[in-house]
Each structure stands twice: as structure tokens, then as C-alpha cells.
């Protein structure tokens, strides 16, 4: 489902206000649940990467970056996530060679290429399976609001361009719980990209002495996208962000197609994209997450879509990488000492 536009309005629209009673109840319940006592803990340190709102803020690229930092420090990171968009509920270890995005989700397949990855709708059971793998640090992609598994360090990402939207909880706005309730569980606030919409979160974090890290998603170079007109398509949290990135690279974006986050493309949609690209002599381009779903889809039409589509690679970058590395290393070593490992 695509997030409604009124979620991201600076002012609270009539649609948001009409849903306010439901949002107040949802926010009260979710905020209270967030601070419940954990039901279990892992035998290895758990580092959570989450966000305040529904939708994408770059959690998976940030998790991949943290994995690289941990490897450089001599650790063996693994991943735990729900496997959103997949049919499996787990707990199970993801195998990129046999599992499809329809089974385990696109993000799980991306992470599994880097380290042992477990999906589980129950974080405690998932953590128990993950700690049996060849890892000594567990990176939890999402699950910040889920209280069941003990977390040792929580990075919470906020998009500088959209912030916390209209500041209301579901369904009036994008917040998963009231911001004031979420900020107290935040160990490090990560502001991603450029813009002024993250000001409220930054002010709250500053008052509470929470470290603030600034990050950005950087696009890689793709020669095949130069000197051609593009048909860009994406099924991510904010497709417009992908399209804007292409334009910022001074690429010729002739047409765009937006789909909901984790969208499972249909054969008809694949055929339409191929037909329009061919008839108008456009080069198809999409995101890494979308390509994962295309690559593992079964009908033959997706093989043609895969061949005809280019991917714009992106990586998370942190200017103050040394500070980030120090925060991670300090907390992980402290927890390992507490666990006696």
C-alpha cells in the first residue's frame, strides 16, 4: 500500500484529523508496548537499525555499512529481520541460492549476500537461531519498536527531507509510536540526506544528549545510463527519492513508474514496462531492491525485464565515519564483556 500524501504534509489536513481518535489509541498502545520488558536476549550483542516512521529511510544500506565497519574491526556480523514482503514466517536461515524474494523478502536476500541472515516474525526465536550461526554480532534490520528481543545499541534513522511527516501516529500519520516515546529508546539518531524536516527529532535528541550522526545515500556510477532516455520504475518506500537521485546525476528521466514498497510485480506490469520502453526507445532503470524481486520471480517475462533493466547502485556514507566506528566498537565490546565472550 502506498502511503497517503497527507502523512507528509507540514500541516494536519482534514483527513488526518478525522482519523485522530484512532491514531491516539494506536499511539498510546504502541508507545506503551515499546517500553515493555524484553522477553529474551541473544548470546551475542544486538545492534538495531530502525526508524520512527513507516516506510524506507535507508535502514538496509545502513545495516550493510555497519556490517562492513564491524568486519573491519575483526567481528563477524549477521543479520536478523522480519522478512517483510515474503511468505515465510521463520525462523529460518536465508539461502540466496534457493530462496526467492516472494518467500523471504527483498531485503533479506540483499543482506544474505554479505553475512548469515535469519528471518523471523518472532524476534526472540529468530535471535536464538541467528546466534547459532558463525557470527559474533547481530544486526537487526528494523524492529526498533518491537520490545521482545533485548537490544544493546539502537540506531534510529530519520530522513531529512520528510522527517516525521505531520507528526501523527498511524493511521493519521506515518509515526509508529509518539516521537517522544520513541526518542527515549534511541541511542544514536542518524539524519539521512538533506533537508530541514528532521528538526524536531534533532532537537529532542539534543535535549536528551543523544549522539547525532549525519549520513547520505550516494549513487554509484553506471555508464549505461548516460546519453540515453530513461524509464525509471521503483517499488520502494519513496520512489520519488530514487527518481530525484537520477535527475541529480543529470540523467534524462523521460518517464517514471511508482509502485508500493516491496511491490511484487505482476506479469502484466512487467509486460507493460517492456512494451513502453521498446516503443519509446527508453532504457529501463530500477533500484537494487526492485531487481532482487525481479531476479527471483518465476514467470519467464521477468527474465526479459531483468536483461532490459539497469540498476542504479547506492551506498550509505557517513562523513564522520571514525566517530560512528568508535560508537559501534565501544558498545559491542562492552556487551561482549558483560556476556563473558
Residue 299 lies in a domain: yes
The rounded percent of the chain whose pLDDT value lies above 90 is 91
What confidence score (pLDDT) does residue 134 get? 97
Residue 253 lies in a domain: yes
Report the alpha-carbon distance of residue 162 to residue 193 in Å, rounded. 10
pLDDT band, residue 188 (cuts 50/70/90): very high
Same domain, 200 and 114: yes
Q: Which range marks the domain in which residue 228 is found?
A: 221-312
Note the pLDDT tens digit of each residue in 266-313. 999 999 999 999 999 999 999 999 999 999 998 899 999 999 999 999
Same domain, 56 and 175: yes
Q: What are phi and psi of 298, to 5 degrees?
A: -85, -50
Residue 18 lies in a domain: no
Task: Output DSSP code: residue 237.
Answer: S
Query: If you write DSSP's letter for every residue of 140-197 in order, what string do you get?
Result: EES-TT--SB--SEEEEEEETTTTTTTS-BTTTSSBSS-HHHHHTT-SEEEEESS-ST
Residue 130 lies in a domain: yes
Residue 29 lies in a domain: no
Beta strand pairing status for 252-258 and 283-286? unpaired
CATH of the domain at 253: 3.40.50
* pLDDT over threshold 80, residue 2: no
Same domain, 259 and 210: no
**What is the number of structural domains in the chain?**
2
**Mean pLDDT score of the chain, rounded to an integer?**
95
What confidence score (pLDDT) does residue 1 get? 60
Same domain, 168 and 271: no
* pLDDT over threshold 90, residue 72: yes
What confidence score (pLDDT) does residue 238 get? 87
Amino acid at each position: 500500500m502506498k502511503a497517503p500524501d497527507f502523512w507528509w504534509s507540514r500541516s494536519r489536513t482534514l483527513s488526518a484529523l478525522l482519523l485522530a481518535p484512532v491514531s491516539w489509541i494506536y499511539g498510546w498502545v504502541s508507545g506503551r508496548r515499546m517500553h515493555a520488558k524484553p522477553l529474551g536476549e541473544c548470546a551475542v550483542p544486538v545492534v538495531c537499525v530502525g526508524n520512527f516512521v513507516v516506510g524506507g529511510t535507508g535502514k538496509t544500506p545502513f545495516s550493510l555499512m555497519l556490517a562492513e565497519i564491524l568486519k573491519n574491526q575483526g567481528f563477524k556480523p549477521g543479520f536478523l529481520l522480519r522478512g517483510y514482503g515474503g511468505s515465510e514466517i521463520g525462523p529460518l536461515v536465508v539461502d540466496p541460492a534457493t530462496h526467492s524474494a516472494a518467500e523471504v523478502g527483498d531485503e533479506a536476500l540483499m543482506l544474505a549476500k554479505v553475512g548469515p541472515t535469519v528471518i523471523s516474525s518472532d524476534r526472540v526465536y529468530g535471535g536464538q537461531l541467528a546466534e547459532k550461526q558463525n557470527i559474533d554480532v547481530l544486526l537487526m534490520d528494523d524492529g526498533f519498536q518491537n520490545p521482545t528481543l533485548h537490544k544493546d545499541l539502537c540506531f534510529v534513522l530519520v530522513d531529512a527531507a520528510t522527517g516525521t511527516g505531520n507528526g501523527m501516529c498511524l493511521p493519521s500519520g506515518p509515526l509508529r509510536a509518539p516521537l517522544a516515546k520513541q526518542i527515549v529508546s534511541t541511542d544514536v539518531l542518524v539524519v539521512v540526506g538533506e533537508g530541514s524536516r528532521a528538526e524536531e527529532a534533532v532537537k529532542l535528541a539534543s535535549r536528551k544528549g543523544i549522539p547525532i550522526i549525519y549520513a547520505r545515500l550516494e549513487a554509484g556510477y553506471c555508464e549505461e545510463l548516460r546519453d540515453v532516455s530513461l524509464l525509471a520504475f521503483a517499488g520502494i518506500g519513496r520512489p520519488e527519492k530514487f527518481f530525484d537521485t537520477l535527475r541529480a546525476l543529470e540523467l534524462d528521466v523521460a518517464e517514471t513508474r511508482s509502485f508500493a514498497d516491496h511491490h511484487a510485480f505482476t506479469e502484466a506490469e512487467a509486460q507493460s514496462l517492456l512494451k513502453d520502453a521498446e516503443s519509446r526507445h527508453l532504457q529501463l532503470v530500477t533500484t537494487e531492491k526492485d531487481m532482487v524481486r525481479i531476479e527471483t520471480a518465476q514467470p519467464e517475462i521477468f527474465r526479459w525485464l531483468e536483461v532490459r533493466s539497469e540498476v542504479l547502485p547506492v551506498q550509505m556514507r557517513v562523513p564522520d565515519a571514525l566517530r560512528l566506528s568508535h560508537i559501534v566498537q565501544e558498545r559491542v565490546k562492552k556487551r561482549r564483556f558483560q556476556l563473558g565472550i
